[in-house]
């Protein structure tokens, strides 16, 4: 199994997750309603941390729940965990092995909080430390760079949010994600071709905002892990406050700009980058105006709602990072210096 095959199997993994974990999600939501949950406290690392960024926006926008991203070192090295009263404590980890993430859930239980593990390993330390387990059902992920475990983590969060909201339309949209992902994957040959244009790229900026702030971070991470490109992610709003000074003629900028509440601000930034800086733009979008700003436009289905766009938009980003790695003559299966499981404390 290769990283490409794991990218390709994501729609079916999402299908399996939706069918196998719907009942579990209902049980978790029932437990949440019985408690005086006022906010979410979430611990994660690496790719899973980017899933946490998605949760930050989604649980706030659809469920009115503030979310705090944990600082695990407070629990391990400093031995000064914060007070977690009335929190839903969530740990996200594809392997469930990281001691620092486990320590956050253990402390949450010690403080009598409701705890939830989102992981691909149902027998892992993380799973055993939680009141509830949401098994992401991604199957064995052999590639070092995470792909299908990321999208199944996103879907797990989306399922939880939709169930908490109670609007049946949200759940209907979840099931449509499978076909939207399949449609995007059909662009594999096109993305392989355009990636050749960037084979000499050694640095880039990756922009996203709102729900796709998470996508910007995950795309940048894949570029770093696989093709060793110095890729820095930014919100388009933060980018305007100083870092835009990095851009000069021909500087490559990646952007995720689907239709939605933050689209106009993203479009304004893309037009500025193209007109005033002559930047080289790779844009993932379902709006013709954003695509028109790009030298390399990559389309996602027009009907994808903004709240689910991170599950769809990350697929062409994964393919771009994969094919860029091959174009550079690098090994996408064995990136240097990193391991599949990292046990941080």
DSSP result, 146-170: -SHHHHHHHHHHHHHHHHHH--HHH
> For residues 88 and 40, is the Cβ–Cβ distance under 8 A?
yes
| Per-residue pLDDT in tens (0 to 9) along the chain, 345 residues | 689 999 999 999 999 999 999 999 999 999 999 999 999 999 999 999 999 999 999 999 999 999 999 999 999 999 999 999 999 999 999 999 999 999 999 999 999 999 999 999 999 999 999 999 999 999 999 988 899 999 999 999 999 999 999 999 999 999 999 999 999 999 999 999 999 999 999 999 999 999 999 999 999 999 999 999 999 999 999 999 999 999 999 999 999 999 999 999 999 999 999 999 999 999 999 999 999 999 999 999 999 999 999 999 999 999 999 999 999 999 998 887 666 456 665
**Residue 339: predicted pLDDT:** 66
What CATH number should be reported for the domain whose range is 187-327?
Answer: 3.40.50.10490
pLDDT of residue 344: 64
What pLDDT score does 185 carry? 98
From 115, 121, 123, select the one nearest 149 (Cα to Cα). Answer: 121
| Global model pTM greater than 0.75 | yes
pLDDT for the residue 61: 97
Alpha helices in the chain (DSSP H): 3-8, 10-34, 46-63, 99-110, 125-128, 148-165, 168-185, 188-195, 213-222, 236-239, 263-277, 288-291, 309-327
Write out the catalytic residue numbers: 340
Q: Please report the pLDDT score of residue 345 as a whole number.
A: 58
Per-residue pLDDT at 102:
96
Could you say which architecture CATH assigns to the domain 3-179? 3-Layer(aba) Sandwich (3.40)
Chain position carrying tokens 């059902």: 137
How far, in Å, CA of 332 to CA of 344, rounded? 24
Q: Which two tokens stand for residue 316?
A: 């062409």
pLDDT at residue number 336: 74
Q: For residues 120 and 23, give the distance between their C-alpha atoms in angstroms, rounded to a whole number.
A: 17
In whole angstroms, give the CA distance from residue 61 to residue 199: 38
Same fold, 3-179 and 187-327: yes
CB atoms within 10 A of CB 243: 13
- Identify the pLDDT of residue 1: 63
Joined together, the tokens standing for residue 238 give 């933060």
In this prediction, residue 51 carries a pLDDT of 98
- Cβ atoms < 10 Å from Cβ of 121: 19
Q: Is 294 left (phi over 0), alpha (psi -120 to 50) or beta?
A: beta
Do residues 232 and 253 touch, judged by C-beta distance below 8 A?
no
Query: How many whole angstroms separate alpha carbon 197 and alpha carbon 206?
Result: 17
Which conformational region is residue 248 in: left (phi greater than 0), alpha (psi within -120 to 50 degrees), or beta?
Answer: beta
Pairwise CA distance, residues 61 & 7, whole Å = 28
For the chain, the domains span 3-179, 187-327
Contacts 24+ apart (CB under 8 A), 234-237: 234/205, 234/206, 234/207, 235/207, 235/208, 235/209, 236/207, 236/208, 236/209, 236/262, 236/265, 236/266, 236/269, 237/209, 237/265
For 68, the 3-state DSSP assignment is: strand
């Amino acid at each position: 199994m290769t990283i490409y095959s794991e990218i390709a199997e994501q729609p079916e993994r999402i299908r399996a997750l939706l069918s196998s974990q719907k009942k579990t999600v209902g049980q978790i939501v029932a437990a949440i309603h019985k408690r005086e949950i006022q906010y979410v406290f979430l611990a994660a690392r690496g790719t899973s941390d980017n899933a946490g960024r998605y949760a930050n926006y989604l649980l706030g926008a659809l469920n009115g729940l503030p979310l705090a991203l944990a600082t695990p070192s407070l629990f391990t090295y400093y031995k000064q965990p914060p007070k977690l009263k009335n929190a839903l404590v969530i740990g996200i980890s594809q392997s469930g092995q990281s001691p620092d993430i486990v320590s956050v859930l253990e402390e949450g239980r010690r403080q009598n909080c409701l705890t939830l593990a989102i992981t691909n390993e149902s027998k892992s330390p993380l799973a055993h430390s939680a009141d509830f387990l949401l098994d992401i059902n991604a199957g064995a992920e052999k590639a070092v760079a995470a792909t299908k475990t990321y999208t199944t983590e996103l879907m797990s969060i989306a399922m939880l949010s939709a169930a908490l909201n109670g609007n049946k339309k949200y759940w209907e949209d979840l099931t449509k994600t499978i076909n939207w992902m399949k449609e995007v994957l059909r662009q594999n040959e096109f993305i392989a071709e355009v990636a050749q244009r960037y084979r000499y790229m050694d640095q880039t900026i990756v922009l996203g905002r709102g729900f796709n702030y998470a996508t910007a971070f995950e795309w940048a991470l894949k570029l770093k892990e696989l093709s060793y490109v110095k890729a820095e992610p930014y919100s388009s709003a933060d980018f305007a406050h100083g870092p835009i000074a990095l851009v000069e003629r021909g500087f490559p900028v990646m952007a995720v700009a689907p239709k939605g509440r933050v689209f106009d601000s993203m479009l304004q930034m893309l037009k500025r980058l193209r007109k005033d800086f002559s930047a080289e733009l790779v844009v993932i979008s379902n709006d013709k105006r954003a695509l028109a700003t790009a030298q390399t436009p990559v389309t996602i289905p027009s009907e994808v709602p903004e709240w689910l766009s991170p599950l769809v938009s990350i697929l062409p980003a994964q393919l771009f990072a994969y094919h860029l790695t091959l174009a550079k003559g690098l090994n996408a299966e064995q990136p240097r210096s990193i391991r599949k499981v990292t046990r941080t404390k």
